[in-house]
Amino acid sequence: MSIRLRLTLTYSAMLFIILLIFSALVVSVMHWALFDSIDRTLSGTVDEVMTNIRGPRPELTLPDLQPRITFELPDLDIFRASNVFVQTWNSSGDYTGGSTNLGNYRMPLDSEALTTTEQTLRNVEISGGSFRVLTRPFIVNNRILGRIQAAASLDTVEEAQSRVTAVMLVAIGVAVLVSIFLGSAMLARALRPIETIAEAASQIATGDDLGSRIPYSGPSDELGRLVGIFNATLGRLEALFKAQRRFVADVSHELRTPLTVIQGSVDLIKRYNDKDALDAIAGESKRMTRLVGDLLLLAQADAGELPMLKQPLELDTLVLEVFEQAQVLAPDGPAIRLGRFDAVRVNADPDRLKQLLLNLLGNAIKYTPPDGTITLSVWPNGPEALLSVADTGEGIPAEDLPYIFDRFYRVDKARARKQGGAGLGLAIARWIAEAHQGWITVRSTTAKTATATNPTGTTFTIHLPRQIPPPEATAETVYNLRVPRPAKAGNGETANGDASS
């Protein structure tokens, strides 16, 4: 069952129930109004009869006998309505008179009410017809001398109720049929954009064209927002699909190169027993191991399965360890020195932060000439702890800065392959910074834009939340301050995700 049919039936059923309840209320109100009108007519008639009645008059005056009280009804012309029937009965239950419109009918209009001492108002059946009968005692000097009964036919009331009920039922039926017809037409028009969305989505799914978008020119209502969200989802899926395809192509290319070298070296060993081939195999194997390790690290990070063992950490101590390790890793490379070196504490995973710094240092060593300089610095800046790795290398072109943190992206692809880079180091560095609620900015100057006061080189700056102990706290008590990542970095720097090396 389609949504259109379900909604049509649902709203029609709701309309039917509402109209049914409304009709029942109308009939009930009409029933009450008609009976109230009859009751007021009967009461007014009895009041008028009691006012104009002649008597009572006793027929016997002997003291030892019970006198028989009789009444004389006024002429029927003084009654309010000619369809009201009136009888009088004495206290002994004897008929004493009746209105002329009763003819020769001398039976009580309501026999049960002749024995009561209170006024009664009941519906009774008389000669196959329904009547409303009012019985009121006639009291003189606190003595009931007789009773007056007034009756009116209910046939007109019942006929009116039947007609109104029939009209209501017919009206309800017509209203429900009209609502089904109009509701179906209106829903078809209202749901047409959804059908358009479904058709477009089907074409995208069957045609494998994630670049298509759903056209929509309607108002910015729920459907408009739905189309916008759907198009945004398609855009994200397209970007992820392209990234996945590019990732697979890059990984295939990266793995093919060392595999080709290894295969060729194996052939040389078989033919000539070349020891240099063994060194080549060992080098490419290490390169593949690093590549697979980096890929596994990023995959675990993307899946959220890589734990961070954070602890209070003296950042200057960590930087000093990295500085000493870098001296060993690049003994013949550019000079590595310490710049600003202040004590600052953070809450971080020491192994991951060391990996971040070593990735940045390794990147700087590759692109800085032997006569160049690499400077490591650490200092506090308000609620932040800042780490920087600055080199005097050739710099990164401005058009490449937005992409250098992308996986497998390299500014000089041919040169990077010769140096063994896979383009994953900066992607890992960015992930580590973000995992610590921080970010990385980069500022670079190439030979084209260099000046005497602004020589060539690149500076990566890591921003981390700093732990600042309150003045009254002990040395073991620290606060973990989270610093929001800025949308844009100033002074020529680009925010995390917008730059790489």
Torsion (CA) 280, 324, 362, 330 in degrees, nearest 10? -50
Q: How confident is the model at residue 485 (pLDDT cuts 50, 70, 90)?
A: very low
Q: Residue 72 has what pLDDT?
A: 64
Residue where a domain stops, chosen among 272, 301, 330: 301
Report the 10 Å Cβ neighbour count for 396. 22
**Residues with Cβ within 8 Å of residue 369, at least 6 apart in sequence:** 334, 393
**DSSP conformational letter for 54:** E
Question: Residue 389 domain-assigned?
Answer: yes
Whichever domain contains 227, its CATH number is 1.10.287.130
Q: Residue 25 has what pLDDT?
A: 92
Question: Residue 168 domain-assigned?
Answer: no
Q: How confident is the model at residue 469 (pLDDT cuts 50, 70, 90)?
A: low
**Residues with Cβ within 8 Å of residue 248, at least 6 apart in sequence:** none
In angstroms, the CA 273 to CA 59 distance is: 158
Question: Residue 202 domain-assigned?
Answer: no
Question: Residue 207 domain-assigned?
Answer: no
Domain co-membership, 332 together with 403: yes
Residue where a domain stops, chosen among 142, 160, 178: 160
For Cα atoms 178, 181, 187, give the angle at the middle one, nearest 5 degrees.
Answer: 125
Strand partners, 439: 463
Helix residue ranges, H only, 347-477: 350-366, 413-418, 425-435
Q: Residue 289 has what pLDDT?
A: 74
Mean pLDDT of 103-121: 86
Domain co-membership, 295 together with 317: no
Q: Is the dihedral of CA 420, 375, 333, 351 positive or negative?
A: negative
Distances (CA, A) of 49 to 73, 133, 298: 7, 15, 105
pLDDT tens digits along 142-152: 788 788 889 98
Report the chain's terminal Cα–Cα distance, integer Å.
Answer: 57
Q: How confident is the model at residue 494 (pLDDT cuts 50, 70, 90)?
A: very low
pLDDT, greater one: 322 or 472: 322
Domain co-membership, 321 together with 441: yes
Mean pLDDT of 318-322: 91
pTM, to two decimals: 0.46
In angstroms, the CA 176 to CA 453 distance is: 84
Range of the domain at 426: 310-465
Domain co-membership, 149 together with 8: yes
Domain co-membership, 51 together with 140: yes
Question: Residue 479 domain-assigned?
Answer: no
Contact 366, 394 (CB under 8 A): no
pLDDT tens digits along 271-282: 776 667 677 677
Residue where a domain stops, chosen among 254, 276, 301: 301
| Residue 467, pLDDT above cutoff 90 | no
Overall domain count for the chain:
3
> Phi/psi at 308 (nearest 5 deg)?
-115, 115
Whichever domain contains 330, its CATH number is 3.30.565.10
- β-strand pairing of 84-90 with 143-153: antiparallel
pLDDT, greater one: 206 or 500: 206
pLDDT tens digits along 231-255: 888 788 777 777 677 666 666 666 6
- β-strand pairing of 69-72 with 457-465: unpaired
Domain co-membership, 103 together with 11: yes
| Residue 171, pLDDT above cutoff 50 | yes
- In order, the DSSP letters of 337-370 are EEEEE---EEEE-HHHHHHHHHHHHHHHHHTS-T
| Residue 46, pLDDT above cutoff 50 | yes
Q: Residue 333 has what pLDDT?
A: 81
Domain co-membership, 321 together with 456: yes
pLDDT tens digits along 258-268: 777 677 777 76
What value does the CA radius of gyration of the chain take, rounded to a whole number of Å?
Answer: 51
Whichever domain contains 52, its CATH number is 3.30.450
Burial 355-366 (b: 16+ CB within 10 A, else e): bbbbbbbbbbbb
- Segment among 61-70, 100-109, 123-132 with least mean pLDDT: 61-70
- The token pair that represents 448 in the structure block: 């084209």
> Phi/psi at 97 (nearest 5 deg)?
165, 160
Q: How confident is the model at residue 474 (pLDDT cuts 50, 70, 90)?
A: very low
Q: Residue 129 has what pLDDT?
A: 85
Domain co-membership, 238 together with 318: no
Q: What is the mean pLDDT of the chain?
A: 77
In angstroms, the CA 240 to CA 247 distance is: 10
Domain co-membership, 235 together with 373: no
pLDDT, greater one: 308 or 337: 337
Q: Residue 501 has what pLDDT?
A: 36
Burial 88-127 (b: 16+ CB within 10 A, else e): bbbbeeeebbbbeebeeeeebbbeebbeeeeebbeebebe
User: To which H or E segment does residue 102 belong?
Assistant: none
Q: Residue 65 has what pLDDT?
A: 47
Domain co-membership, 240 together with 268: yes
Question: Residue 131 domain-assigned?
Answer: yes
pLDDT, greater one: 324 or 240: 324
Question: Residue 332 domain-assigned?
Answer: yes
In which region does residue 304 sit, left (phi positive, over 0), alpha (psi from -120 to 50) or beta (all else)?
left
pLDDT, greater one: 41 or 217: 41
Domain co-membership, 258 together with 113: no
Question: Residue 204 domain-assigned?
Answer: no
In which region does residue 141 sit, left (phi positive, over 0), alpha (psi from -120 to 50) or beta (all else)?
left
pLDDT, greater one: 248 or 331: 331
Mean pLDDT of 315-341: 87
Domain co-membership, 18 together with 138: yes
Q: Residue 140 has what pLDDT?
A: 75
